Structure formats: C-alpha cells, structure tokens
Amino acid sequence: MTYFMFLLLMALVVGLVAVASNPTPYFAALGLVVAAGVGCGVLVGHGGSFLSLVLFLIYLGGMLVVFAYSAALAAEPFPEAWGSRSVLGYVLVYLLGVSLVAGLFWGGWYEGSWVVVDGLKEFSILRGDISGVAVMYSSGGGMLVICAWVLLLTLLVVLELTRGLSRGTLRAV
Amino acid sequence: MNPYVLAILLSSLGLGTTLTFASSHWLLAWMGLEINTLAITPLMAQHHHPRAVEATTKYFLTQATAAAMILFASTTNAWMTGEWSINDLTNPIASTMFMTALALKIGLAPMHFWLPEVLQGLDLTTGLILSTWQKLAPFALIIQTAQTIDPTLLTLLGATSTLVGGWGGLNQTQLRKILAYSSIAHMGWMIIVIQYAPQLTLIALGTYIIMTSAAFLTLKTSFTTKINTLATTWSKNPILTSATALALLSLGGLPPLTGFMPKWLILQELTKQDLPIIATVMALAALISLYFYLRLCYAMTLTISPNTTNSTTPWRIQTTQTLLPLALFTTTALGLLPMTPTIMMLTT
C-alpha cells in the first residue's frame, strides 16, 4: 500500500512538473489530468473516498473538460510538447529543484507513516471528509453563502473582462 | 461601466476586507483576500487599453501567488500543529512563509517590483483604491500574527522597504510611480515597529491612508500624472497647489504636519527598545524619500508661481468633480499633529 502511494505521489510530482514547464496549453491540460487523477488516488489511500469522487467528477469531469475544449480552440500550428528545447529546460530545472528539496527533507526509515483521515483505520461510517461536507452545510452555512456570492462575483468579473469582444479588455476575444 | 456591475464589485471589495477583519480562521481570511483580488480586477481593466490590461495581469498574478502561499502556510501550520486559528501560528516555517506572502501582497521590498508597474498602468482612482483599501486586509492579518514571526525578518523587510522606497523613487518623473515608491517606504515604516508596538503600525497606516488619499485626489483633480504637467497646476487651481505642497511635505514626514506623527512615535519606540542603529537607518532612509517629495514641491510651487506668464493661463471653469473628499483628506493630512495623544489613545 505504501509503495503504491509512493508511486502515486511520484506521478503527482511528475504531472505538476509537466504543467509548470510551460508547454502548449493542450499538453499542460494533460499534465493536469494526470496530476488530478493521481491526487484522487492519494486521497482515496488516505480514506477520503467521497472527496476523491467529488474531485474526479467536478474538477476533472467538469472544469478540466471545459478547459480542454477551450484550449483546443486555441490550437497552435507548431505545438511545443515536453521534448522541445525550451520546455525541456524548464522540466530539467524543476526536476532538479524537486530532487534538491527532497534531499534536504529526506528522513530515515522511522520518519512518517501513512495515516488515514481520522482515528479508526477502516471501522467508521462517517469518515473525515463526509462529516466535513456535513459541517460545511450546517455550522459553516455562512461560509457557504459567501462562497456562492464569490462564484457569482467571478462570473460577473469574467463577463466584465471579456465584454466588448475585440474592442474590450482582451483583444483576442 | 455598467452601474450594477460597479455596485457589485465595490460591495465585494467591502465584503472581502470585512471578511478578513472578522475572521479567526485562516480559510476565511484567505477567502476575504481572494474576494478583494477578484473584485478589483475588472476595475483595473475598465479602461481597455493594453497598459491597463498588463497592469491587471501583473497584479492578479502576484496577488494570486501570495494568496496561494498564504494557503500553503496555513495548511502547513494546520498539519504541524493542528491549529487553524490566526492567532496560533506557532510553526516557524509557516509563519515565515506567511509573512513573505503578505509582504508580496502589500508590496514590501524585496517583493515590491510589481507595485510601480501596476500603479503606473492604472487611472488615479483605481490606484487610490489599490494603495489604501487593499492594504487594510493584509495588515489586519500581519498585526494579528506579528508576535510569532521571526524578528529578523520583520526588521529586514522594514529597513529594506524604506531604503528601496527612497532610492527607487529618486529617478522617477511619473507621479504614479513616485506614489508607488512612497507606498513601499511607508509600508517599511509600518512593519519595522509592529513587533514592538502594533498600535503605532495602526497610526502609521491611518495617517498614510489619509496622506496618500490627499495626494491621489489632488492629482485626479488637476488631471496630472507627470512632473511636467504638475508644474502647471498653479494656473488651474492655486489654492490646491499650495495645499498640495504642504501635503507632499507631510508625506515626507516634516513637522508640524501630520506625517511627522508616525515617524516621531516610531523612532521614539525604537529608541525605547534600545535599537538606535535601526532608528538611524530609518531616519536616513526617510531623508531619501523626502528628496523626491521636495522635488515635487519644487516643481509645483517653489519655482514658477507667482510670476509673469508669457502665455494665457487656462480658464478656471467650475469643476464637475466632487471636491469634498479632497478637502477633507488634505485638511487632515496637514493638521493632525496636535491630536497625537488622542490618536494614541484611540489605537491602544
């Protein structure tokens, strides 16, 4: 189990490096898909199965799909994947940075163990993530209302920024 | 801009700061900061020219980075200590990361490089909101956590900001960049004293907001953004010109004007804490800032007027702008020094 989680975390780092190294957005979206997918796997290993499901459905299945379609609309004639010189430079620099920091924080065999979200390992019905969602709707109701307001605000901000087609703020619209 | 959208954006600006003020949980404070960043983005880009869009992009990227760092610091703290409360930031990694993030948010040196470029791309009203309102929420968080942050970091940030604010502003002819460097210098003064006497930080913040509002509103009323055009304001509005000269000297921290109050109290606090070298460095750095404020006064009032002109002066038509805030801020920026004991009592 620990080895599997280790694999997933390595894949997470590689996916994030693939996004941050500045390829064509289409390939960066692929890196995001990989990173989010293995992140969901890590969450499941922690015991947060509901949160992982929500992340998969809404983030990957909703927002990232929309982003991939929008990125496909902005296709380039000469896309730069991770083999082209400039992107490869970034990839190597980031991997070097990650390995440096990992070497700095490397512990012994006794450091760290894989613990789950709450105290009892597998013997509870209400895990940490599900009860978190429940608290968000009950005691955290005010925060939820503010989150809804922020979503509306974001919509209005985006609409205002893209108003006016090419005469407006973003000339590429 | 559509008035409904403008109303929603301005009310969201208010909501964001209020949320950060009222929060004791890191997530809620982060939400308030992000609401502020989101709400001001269309206000910055409302004049759709590329310079404004560039300024908006730079502002959004830096503020989003800072907000992500704040989230990272608070989750690190929650992971290490289990505490989400703002006052309990006990992990040193988390508190250092948090201070760096907030320094990036308010434009302290050495994370100040975005501020002059962003302010230069904005119109004066949005620049005013950026320099005053957007500083309130991060300062609320800084004041609450200052006791747990490494003292060396705070002192370094403060001293570097004051020096950079002075030296950076020396070669500028664009007024918005000068005001940006003045903001950096004043933030440095606020940060240097926060570990000893947080009420002096509040006083410094309050007086800075008043003085910089006076400066921005003056420039807005006279439609000037460069020193060249500043030199002709005497013919448009002579009373405002003379009052602005004094307001600029107040920004520079000269007695008997309001700007002297925070500097005096902060230097006194630093000497009481047995830090004479830091106090001397701060005073000398303020001298550098004073030079470019004096240069502005020189351009405005001390060279040209009153003299015989070789061309006709412009017609002084009744202006359509609201002048009450300008009058209020200018008067307060000039005359608040005798109220020092009252203000100290208000902020204790």
Q: Which of A150, A158, A173 to mutate to test the interface with B (most CBs of B within 10 A)?
A: A150
Residue with tokens 């980075």: B65
Examine residue A128 and state whether it is found in any structural domain, yes or no. Answer: no
Interface predicted TM-score (ipTM) over 0.90: no
pLDDT at res. B105: 95
Q: Backbone dihedral region of B326: left (phi > 0), alpha (psi from -120 to 50 degrees) or beta?
A: alpha
Residue with tokens 């730079």: B58
More confident residue, B325 or B83: B325
Examine residue A74 and state whether it is found in any structural domain, yes or no. Answer: yes
| Whether residue B133 has pLDDT greater than 60 | yes
Examine residue A28 and state whether it is found in any structural domain, yes or no. Answer: yes
Contact A157 B42 (CB under 8 A): yes
What are the tokens at B271?
A: 């000497």
Mean pLDDT of chain B: 93
Label residue B174 exposed, middle or buried (CB < 10 Å: 0-12, 13-18, 19+): middle
Examine residue A83 and state whether it is found in any structural domain, yes or no. Answer: yes
The structure's pTM equals 0.90
Domains held by chain A: number = 1
Write the residue in B15, B31, B38 that is nearest to A157 by C-beta.
Answer: B38
Contacts of B75 (CB under 8 A, 6+ apart): none
* Domain limits for position A85: 1-123
- Among B119, B124, B113, CA closest to B229: B124
Q: Which residue of A has its CA nearest to B49?
A: A169
- Predicted confidence band at B39 (pLDDT cuts at 50, 70, 90)? very high
Instruction: Measure CA A37 to chain center.
Output: 8
- In sign, the C-alpha dihedral spanning A82, A87, A92, A93 is negative
Write out pLDDT tens, residues B187-209.
999 999 999 999 999 999 999 99
Contact A169 B48 (CB under 8 A): yes
Instruction: Spell out the long-range contacts of A40-44 with Cβ–Cβ below 8 A and sequence spacing 24 or more.
Output: A41/A8, A42/A5, A42/A8, A42/A9, A42/A12, A43/A129
DSSP secondary structure, A58-126, as one string: IIIIIIIHHHHHHHHHT--SS---TTSHHHHHHHHHHHHHHHHHHHHH---TTS-----SSSSSS--SS
- Chain B residues near residue A150 by CB distance under 8 angstroms: 31, 34-35, 38
Q: Which residue of B has its CA nearest to A169?
A: B48
- Chain A residues near residue B38 by CB distance under 8 angstroms: 150, 153-154, 157
Give the span between the Cα atoms of B185 and B345, in whole angstroms: 25
Give the span between the Cα atoms of B139 and B347, in whole angstroms: 14
- Chain B residues near residue A160 by CB distance under 8 angstroms: 1-2, 5, 9, 42, 46
Examine residue A171 and state whether it is found in any structural domain, yes or no. Answer: no
| Whether residue B18 has pLDDT greater than 60 | yes
Q: Which of B10, B17, B38, B59 to mutate to test the interface with A (most CBs of A within 10 A)?
A: B38
Examine residue A145 and state whether it is found in any structural domain, yes or no. Answer: no
What are the tokens at B63?
A: 């503020």
Examine residue A17 and state whether it is found in any structural domain, yes or no. Answer: yes
Give the span between the Cα atoms of B164 and B223, in whole angstroms: 28
- Predicted confidence band at B248 (pLDDT cuts at 50, 70, 90)? very high
Contacts of B131 (CB under 8 A, 6+ apart): B119, B179, B180, B183, B212, B216
DSSP letter, residue B224: -
What are the tokens at B18?
A: 């209020």
B34 in A contact zone (CB under 8 Å): yes
Residue A43: count of CB within 10 angstroms of its CB: 21
Give the span between the Cα atoms of B87 and B24, in whole angstroms: 7
The residues in A 75-114 lying below 8 A from B, measured between CB atoms, are: none
pLDDT at res. B316: 84
- Chain A residues near residue B9 by CB distance under 8 angstroms: 153, 156-157, 160
pLDDT at res. A119: 54
Q: Which residue of B has its CA nearest to A142?
A: B28
Q: Which residues of chain A have pLDDT under 50?
A: none
